[in-house]
Amino acid sequence: MIFLADLPAPSRMGDILMAFLSIVFEGAPYILIGTIFSGIIDAFLPAKLLDRVLPKNKILATLMAGFLGLVFPVCECAVVPVIRRLVQKGLPLSCAVTYMLSAPIMNPIVAISTLTAFKEFQGLSWATAGNATMTIARLSLGYLVAVIVGLVVLRFKPGQVLRASIANKIAQAEAADADDHVHAPAASFNGKLVHAMRSSMRDFLDTAMYFAIGVVITSAFNTQINQSLLNAVAGNDWLAVPSLMGLAIVLSLCSTSDAFIAAPMTAFSMAAKLAFLVFGPMMDIKLLFMYSSVFQRKVVVSFLIGLFILIGLLSGPWMSLVQHLSIKP
Amino acid sequence: MSGTRTLVHLLSVTMLLLWGGVLLYFYISGRLANYLPPDGIFRPMVLVSGIGLVVLGLFNLLTMGAEDAGCEGHDHGHSHDDHDHDHKDCGHDHAHKHGDCGHDHSHDHDHGNCDHDHEHKHAHGACDHDHKHEHGTCDHDHDHKDCGHDHSHDPAKKAGCCGHDHGHHHAHGAEGHAHGILEESSWPGRIAVLLILAAPLSWAALSTPDRYSSNAIVNKGLYDPNYTDTSRAEQFSLQNKPKTAANAAAVVTAEKVADLPPAKVTPAAPAKPASPPPPGVAVASAANAETKTPPKNIPPPAQASKSYGTFSLEDLKAQVPQSKDGNFILEVPELYYTGGDVEVQKVLTGQMVETVAQILPEKVNNADGHRLRIFRMLVQCCAADARPYSVPVDFGKKAPEFKDMTWVKVVGKMGYKKEGTQTVPIIEATKVEETTAPDNAMIY
């Protein structure tokens, strides 16, 4: 145990370093999980398997991809390396984007943390399930937005959306299929394992680099900007939603914990909190950089703007709708 | 493996060991206690992933020479080292072909990045050689039919000098090796990546103070308390726990009422507790805190609040430890949450309480300078989401001077005052003395 006396005195820079480390400690384990997965996918998953499993109809496949988070629950740090690899393995881009956006929300861990934070957990049963307003609204809006974005992405070619290196690998994988030549040939298990671990190492470093940039910026915002300033706009319907989404960008919270931050903001409407909880897991400073490891910069910026507008417009009506449906006279 | 690749591989392993080492160091030294909560999986995850990173790094170090089932190990039949191909001589522009395909061809042109020897291309005088045969197990398909640009240009059109198929250039950028950013970059790029990976983490690990300065605490909302908050009330509210089950349903009801815009308030039917919550979960307290003191912009709750349990001095004594002098020893968040609960306020008003916290100047309702503010940081998932929970301490006269952030033991009489829209819990101090920091500076 190191005694406080040995540590540097607190300072503004110390605040940033402290916030940086704490987000790294929270996020790095999940990045590692995601990259180990991605390495294993790279080495062991036959390229054609995804084609066989997913529906041929791409719209149907996109709709299904939105639910994958229920089966493979990941938070937003872990999902980026995984989809990066899945796309290279032939997962249709629209499905990948939908999975990427929905998995950090449409996921049992996040559902439980939201229920807990908003006190919707206790006394929950099938009869009163409709009363879990925030949880229902969050998961359903997250799914809807992810599917909408996925369907929009469907209209683009991978080369228009993905980074060059990733798009190249897709082209290569397709060509490999055409040749009926499997990428990782009948290699020994050991050889595949070596390949998987090398992929994991590279994916971890790639993802961690973007993560580190994002976390540096976010920890500066997190500690250097007075967050009470937000309360000035809390009562304004027009400003509350965008300002909480702005806070979500700045704070870069993990989707498993952000509900606990949103719940105490009593000054804000439920709609604004919903926007915070749906937008945050899909876009924030660290994700802005992490997405750049997969997508072209203009696409990442389009995600930022598009999600901001889409969720900003939908959160109000969506919250009203869910509240309306849940209230039994 | 070429020299460059070996070096990049070793640097990658070093980065993994650095990240893993920092995680393990903070876990083993116990300093992690200042960053992540003890319950839940956050701390064990740091240990596991620290070990995982070190193992992954060592695995890759030990298998550095091993054959990769992908195509890492293949050699392309040419040296990866010193490439001296000279595309200037080709007399054609590599850039103009690729405008539309949406991926970055820069690696083609910047051959500083590229470890492959392209020389063989030029050595083949004939235009129609097939590069495929050279690539061993790695299937470099050179047919980029989906790139949207045409690679099948006629070599004859190309100034007649090299006539090689440029398709293979692209394949080299993506040749199925799991090339990461370190492999694909040029040396300046690699150094930048290594710096980003190593510098902030090492700097933070070496010079983090493990605690926030007053600046961050003010920024995180010190002077913006909301005593009617219920987010962690189940943990800190003083409502008596045995009555929990009976009131379970009231939580849902109360939340519903509170969440609705005023126009739509319909007193929800008193739902029956469908399933009693697990014992020990003080749910009712949340509802109480929410409804008993109607905060601003929340409509007066339905009569439901009457059904909540009462709170007596006996309950307080049963729950809260007392010091030798009979002071109730409470944490600041517990005092904070009493601001939302009139029943608890009735009991606690006038009682002597004792708490340990950090001190900062008061900036709210403190025109006469009689007050200071004491706070504790409450962490949800990591120190980045820490928020100060604070109450004012009133001295009844000019407040004494304390160095900012000093840990103090405060003894005083509890009082409640309506200030602005909130009922503020105030400690009327009888004794404030410097003390040592508790083992856990953060409350989780």
Which residue of B197, B204, B221 is in closest CB contact with A21? B204
Strand partners, B392: B373
For residues A187 and A57, which has the higher predicted lDDT (pLDDT)? Answer: A57
Per-residue pLDDT tens over the stretch B234-285: 677 776 444 333 343 343 334 333 443 443 333 433 443 334 444 433 333 4
- Kindly report which listed range (B131-135, B214-218, B365-369) carries the lowest average pLDDT score: B131-135
Angle at A153 between CA A151 and CA A159, to 5 degrees: 150
CB A244 within 8 A of CB A314: no
**Mean pLDDT in residue range B360-380:** 89
Min Cα–Cα distance to chain A from B326, Å:
32
Q: Are B387 and A251 spatial neighbours (Cβ–Cβ below 8 Å)?
A: no
CB-CB under 8 Å, B193 with A124: no
Q: What pLDDT, in 10s, does the model give residues A120-177?
A: 765 566 666 667 888 999 999 999 999 999 999 989 888 888 888 888 877 776 776 6
CB contact under 8 A, A203 and B180: yes
- For residue B428, give every residue at least 6 positions away whose Cβ sits within 8 Å of its Cβ, in sequence order, or none: B394, B396, B412, B413, B414, B415
CB atoms within 10 A of CB A13: 18
Is A200 in contact with B56 (Cβ distance < 8 A)?
yes
Lookup: tokens for A160: 């228009």
Answer whether A11 touches B (CB < 8 Å). Answer: yes
Q: Are A101 and A67 in contact (CB under 8 A)?
A: no
d(C-alpha A153, C-alpha B102), whole Å:
15
Whole-number Å distance between alpha carbons of A118 and A113: 9
What's the ipTM?
0.78
Looking at the complex, report in whole angstroms how far the Cα of residue B72 sits from the nearest Cα belonging to chain A: 8
Give B342's pLDDT tier (boundaries 50, 70, 90).
confident
Q: Which residue has the higher pLDDT, B105 or B48?
A: B48
Neighboring chain A residues of B63 at a CB cutoff of 8 Å: 194, 197
- Cβ distance B35 to A22 less than 8 Å, yes or no, reads yes
C-alpha closest to that of A21 among A199, A216, A180, A162: A216
Interface check A240 vs B, CB under 8 A? no
- The pLDDT of B96-106, averaged and rounded, is 40
**Distance in angstroms (rounded) separating the CA atoms of residues A207 and A102:** 19
CB neighbourhood size of B129 (10 A): 16
Structure tokens at B24: 């393990």
- Which residues of chain A from 13 to 52 reach within 8 Å of chain B, CB to CB? 13-15, 17-26, 28-30, 32-33, 36, 39, 42-43
Report which of residues A28 and B155 the model is more confident about. A28
Helix (H) or strand (E) holding B254: helix B248-259
CA distance A155 to chain B (A): 15
A117 touching B (Cβ < 8 Å)? yes
**Tokens read off for B228:** 């009617």
As a whole-number percent, the residues of chain A with pLDDT over 90 amount to 28
pLDDT tens-digit map of B156-196? 333 333 334 333 333 333 334 446 778 777 888 899 999 99
**Mean pLDDT of all residues in B102-117:** 41
pLDDT of the residue at A83 = 87
* A3 part of contact set with chain B, CB < 8 Å: no
Tokens 């109730």 sit on residue: B328
A295 shares contact with chain B (CB less than 8 Å): no
Interface test with A, best of B145, B202, B253, B259 (most A CBs within 10 A): B259
Contact B105 A253 (CB under 8 A): no
Residue B265, pLDDT score:
36
| The amino acid at A280 | G
Residues A319 and A274: beta-carbon distance below 8 Å: yes
**B374, B336 Cβ separation under 8 angstroms:** no
Handedness of CA B363, B365, B370, B375 (dihedral sign): negative
Q: Which stretch of A7-11, A148-152, B109-113 has the lowest confidence by average pLDDT? A: B109-113
Name the token pair of B152. 């099948």
Interface touch B139/A183, C-beta < 8 Å: yes
Q: What are phi and psi of B359, to 5 degrees?
A: -120, 140
Q: Place B413 in a pLDDT band, splitting at 50, 70 and 90.
A: very high
Q: What is the set of domains in chain B, with CATH numbers?
A: 3-68+181-207 (no CATH), 213-226+311-444 (2.40.50.140), 239-309 (no CATH)
A222 touches chain B (CB under 8 A): yes
> Is A273 within 8 Å of chain B by CB?
no
- Give yes or no for A325 touching B (CB within 8 A): no
A126 bridge partner residues: none
Could you tell me what percent of chain A has a pLDDT over 70? 89
If you compute the radius of gyration of chain B from its CA atoms, what whole number of angstroms results? Answer: 34
pLDDT of residue B71: 47
Band of pLDDT at residue B21, cut at 50, 70 and 90: very high
State the average pLDDT for chain B: 68
Contact list in A for residue B34 (CB cut-off 8 A) is: 18
In the predicted model, is pLDDT for residue B122 greater than 80? no
Predicted confidence (pLDDT) per residue in A60-112, tens digit: 989 988 998 887 777 787 888 888 888 888 888 999 999 999 999 998 888 88
Mean pLDDT of the B6-31 span: 94
pLDDT above 80: residue B148? no
Report angle CA B34, A287, A39 to the nearest 5 degrees.
90
Contact A12 B261 (CB under 8 A): no
Q: Looking at beta carbons, which residues of chain B come within 8 Å of A159?
A: 101-103, 146-148
Mean model confidence pLDDT for chain A:
83
Give the per-residue pLDDT at A279.
Answer: 95
* CB atoms A222 and B384 under 8 Å: yes
Nearest CA in chain A to B10: A201
Nearest chain B Cα distance for residue A316, angstroms: 12
Report the distance separating Cα B424 and Cα B427, nearest Å: 10
Can you tell me whether residue B171 is helix, strand or coil? helix
Model confidence band, residue B406 (pLDDT cutoffs 50, 70, 90): very high
Residue pair B105/A164 in contact (Cβ under 8 Å)? The answer is yes
Strands B371-378 and B328-329: unpaired
Best of B42, B145, B203, B219 to disrupt the A interface (most A CBs within 10 Å) is: B219
Dihedral sign of CA atoms B344, B349, B355, B360 in order: positive
pLDDT in the model for residue B266: 38
Q: How far is A53 from chain B (nearest CA, A)?
A: 23
Q: Please tell me which residue of chain A has the smallest CA distance to B250.
A: A123
In tens, the pLDDT along B53-71 reads 999 999 999 998 876 655 4
Answer yes or no: are the C-beta atoms of A100 and A93 closer than 8 Å: no
Are B283 and B244 in contact by the 8 Å Cβ rule? The answer is yes
